[in-house]
Amino acid sequence: MIKVILWDIDGTLLNFKMAEHASIKNCFEVFGLGECSDEMIARYSAINDVYWKRLERGEISKAQVLRGRFEEFFAAEGIAFSDVDSFNREYQFRLGDNVFFNDGGYDIVKSLKGKVKQYAVTNGTAIAQDKKLAKSGLGELFDGVFISEKLGAEKPKIEFFEKVWLDIGEYQKDEVVIVGDSLTSDMLGGNNAGILCCWYDPDGKPMPENIRIDYKIKTLDEIFSIL
């Protein structure tokens, strides 16, 4: 019987791509960098994904992600802009302001409150995550929030989950499920921690060969059938 849900935030309960799109456009306006087309945002998103994957593999630090992705993006687009740190700070605040739910995520978490323990587990920055959890109302529903920047470890590292266990108490591994969209962060992290893994895959991608998936859902409300 599942007693605990570890919810990923970006890409799972919240639509990160929509927030990313709006936030990048906001920042271009704030810094007077002209129009940022959808094609440019798509190219930035691809660069950003590479940097976060490198972080998950332990190849670079969070600081290198936050700065390097924008340095590479501006250089690739031929944009002469050097105040990357200010741009990144503004972007974090904007990410917290631009909240879009996937599949009625708020109502699902609210309906499960008191029936199972629910925690947020995220690799996002503390500035952005604290703000979006407050604005979305999710922060009031969770029994706890675990942000990698505050824990000093990133998903999928076992160190991240060890710090979660210290806080949530004693549960059997088959009583805990992580729900997330990322194979390399959420599902691999769940594998490393030895807990149940529920892959949120709205796009119907093929199952991975080297990562254990216990449940696969296309919409978030399918979690009810698992519980």
pLDDT tens per residue, range 129-138: 999 999 999 9
- Comparing 124 with 29, the larger pLDDT belongs to 29
Which regions of the chain carry the CATH code 3.40.50.1000? 4-15+100-226
CATH 3.40.50.360 fits 4-15+100-226, yes or no: no
Mean pLDDT of 77-83: 95
Statement: residue 75 has pLDDT above 90: yes
- Comparing 169 with 37, the larger pLDDT belongs to 37
pLDDT value at position 66?
95
pLDDT tens-digit readout, 1-54: 999 999 999 999 999 999 999 999 999 999 999 999 999 999 999 999 999 999
Tokens 């019987």 locate to: 1
Statement: residue 206 has pLDDT above 90: yes
pLDDT tens-digit readout, 150-164: 999 999 999 999 999
CATH fold of 16-97, please? DNA polymerase; domain 1 (1.10.150)
Statement: residue 124 has pLDDT above 90: no
Percent of the chain with pLDDT over 90: 99
The 3-class SS string of the chain reads CCCEEEECCECCCECHHHHHHHHHHHHHHHCCCCCCCHHHHHHHHHHHHHHHHHHHCCCCCHHHHHHHHHHHHHHHHCCCCCCHHHHHHHHHHHHHHCCCECCCHHHHHHHHECCEEEEEEECCCHHHHHHHHHHHCHHHHCCEEEEHHHHCCCCCCHHHHHHHHHHHCCCCHHHEEEEECCHHHHHHHHHHHCCEEEEECCCCCCCCCCCCCCEEECCHHHHHHHC
pLDDT tens-digit readout, 105-122: 999 999 999 999 999 999
Which regions of the chain carry the CATH code 1.10.150.240? 16-97
The pLDDT mean for the chain works out to 96
pLDDT value at position 170?
85
